[in-house]
């Protein structure tokens, strides 16, 4: 059951590269923007190595029988993660961020309308939202308390051990350009950002369905 996931991820990465990452450049995240900029600068061999490593990591994440990524794959991923880590002070000066209260109010309304999702507090500023999309159950986890971020999200299997954080994943992670940590949501882009988040959730659910939940 791993081959359909490999093919889908390879096609998604190729489509993003062909478009200059036009779709994922819409993600309101400094880290994702830096990852994309890094990949745009490196040569095709390095981009291919990164894509191969990303696909191997996703297969290992979703498939119990898959081996862990190799040392070569880990090194390719680490180079992009290092580029993402250099987040300067420009965000605070450049935008007027939307508040966590505002984001949460608008997002919960969307999730309820679109997926019949409920809201359950976990701890502190973290919440889980179980819902269904195209007959597939899922859980969206949102943390509004991450240092330096307005929200962090991950999509998981509602029937899995809830203590296993590793299995909750963002779409950006599956394509190797982020971890679902958003820090550029403003009042001006709030509606577009939350619509995008819903689309990303749906794409993760589609990917997970390729290996059977």
Q: Model pTM?
A: 0.87
For residues 5 and 191, give the distance between their C-alpha atoms in angstroms, rounded to a whole number.
Answer: 30
Which residues of the chain register pLDDT less than 50?
89, 92, 163-165, 213
Distances (CA, A) of 135 to 16, 49, 116, 203: 27, 35, 11, 14
Tokens of 90: 């420009």
| pLDDT at residue 74 in the model | 67
| pLDDT at residue 213 in the model | 46
Tokens of 80: 């992009």
| pLDDT at residue 144 in the model | 95
The residue extents of the domains of the chain are 3-209
Query: Phi-psi region for residue 70, left (φ > 0), alpha (ψ -120 to 50) or beta?
Result: beta
Query: Using CA atoms in the order 9, 14, 16, 18, what is the torsion angle rounded to 10 degrees?
Result: -170
For residues 55 and 95, give the distance between their C-alpha atoms in angstroms, rounded to a whole number.
Answer: 34
- List Cβ neighbours of 13 (8 Å cut-off, separation of 6 or more): 51, 54, 55, 175, 176
Q: Angle CA(189)–CA(192)–CA(195) in degrees, nearest 5?
A: 145
| pLDDT at residue 83 in the model | 67
């Amino acid at each position: 059951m791993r081959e359909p996931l490999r093919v889908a991820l390879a096609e998604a990465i190729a489509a993003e590269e062909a478009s200059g990452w036009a779709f994922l450049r819409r993600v309101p995240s400094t880290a994702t923007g830096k990852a994309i900029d890094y990949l745009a600068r490196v040569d095709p061999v390095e981009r291919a190595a990164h894509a191969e490593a990303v696909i191997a990591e996703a297969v290992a994440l979703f498939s119990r029988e898959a081996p862990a990524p190799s040392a070569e794959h880990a090194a390719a991923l680490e180079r992009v993660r290092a580029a993402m880590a250099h987040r300067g002070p420009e965000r605070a000066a450049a935008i007027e961020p939307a508040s966590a209260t505002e984001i949460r109010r608008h997002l919960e309304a969307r999730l309820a309308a679109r997926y019949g999702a409920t809201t359950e507090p976990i701890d502190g500023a973290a919440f889980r939202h179980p819902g269904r999309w195209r007959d597939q159950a899922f859980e969206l986890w949102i943390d509004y308390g991450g240092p330096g971020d307005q929200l962090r999200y991950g999509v998981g299997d509602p029937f899995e051990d809830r203590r296993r954080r590793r299995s909750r994943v963002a779409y950006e992670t599956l394509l190797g350009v982020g971890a679902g940590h958003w820090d550029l949501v403003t009042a001006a882009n709030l509606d577009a950002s939350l619509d995008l988040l819903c689309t990303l959730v749906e794409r993760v659910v589609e990917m997970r369905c390729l290996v059977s939940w």
